[in-house]
Homo-oligomer: A and B are copies of this chain.
Amino acid sequence: MDIKSKIRDIPDFPKEGILFRDITTLLKDKEAFNKVINKFVSFYKDEGVQKVVGIESRGFIFGAPLAHQLNAGFVPIRKPGKLPSDVYEAKYELEYGTDTLAIHQDAISPGEKVLIVDDLLATGGTMSAAVDLIKQLGGTIVGIAFLIELAVLKGREKLNGQNILSLITY
């Protein structure tokens, strides 16, 4: 079964000229969702991952099952104002303006082996901010995993030096 065929293309979402890759048609298909999680697990199972970090909110959908399967803890990176204890924040550029991500300061201990997970690699701005946060906490990033990579946007270049896995490429 080809997992790429389970992605639904939605033209002009969220705005005109954007072709949105809708993963909900994959998620609701139990074989496809199972296959995606198992592919990630088989790739990382011998890496000694101690914390899986998922980026709000679609990163949670892949990060949480991976944490459970890899016998690791799960750490959410969230939008500002959502995490109740002391946080570090990182800003990143959008097409217009900036956005911010936050992580709890006690989420990761120095030297812990960290896998970061999100659904989509586009320009790489979001993941680059997440990498900065993990480094600030002293975590050792053993890998970065995406379901989808939009190769034409060259997000990989912004994540220079990281081990990147993407299961589906456009």
A88 beta carbon closer than 8 Å to chain B: no
Chain B CB count within 10 A is highest, among A10, A14, A37, A78, for A37
Q: Interface majority SS on A: helix, strand, loop or mixed?
A: mixed
Q: A61-B60, A64-B65 are in contact. Are A84 and B22 (CB under 8 A)?
A: yes
Shortest Cβ gap from A104 to chain B (Å): 6
Q: Which of chain B's residues have a CB closer than 8 A to the CB of A104?
A: 24
* Residue in chain B with minimal CB distance to A67: B33
* Interchain CA distance A68-B63 in the complex, whole Å: 12
Determine the chain B residues whose CB is within 8 A of the CB of A43 once the complex forms: none
Judging by beta carbons under 8 Å apart, are B27 and A73 in contact?
yes
Task: Give a binary string over A28-55; 1 marks a CB under 8 Å from any B CB, 0 the rest.
Answer: 1110011001000000000000110010
List, in ascending order, chain B residues with CB within 8 A of A107's CB: 24, 28
The answer, yes or no, to whether A97 is at the interface (CB within 8 Å) is no
Shortest Cβ gap from A25 to chain B (Å): 8
The answer for the CA separation of A29 and B109 in the assembled complex, in Å, is 12
Residues of A in contact with B (beta carbons under 8 Å apart): 8, 10, 13-14, 20, 22, 24, 27-30, 33-34, 37, 50-51, 54, 56-58, 60-62, 64-65, 67-69, 71-76, 78, 81, 83-85, 104, 107-108
16 A-B residue pairs with Cβ-Cβ distance under 8 Å, sorted by A, are: A8-B85, A10-B84, A20-B84, A22-B85, A24-B85, A27-B73, A28-B74, A30-B50, A30-B71, A33-B68, A33-B73, A56-B57, A57-B57, A60-B61, A61-B64, A65-B68
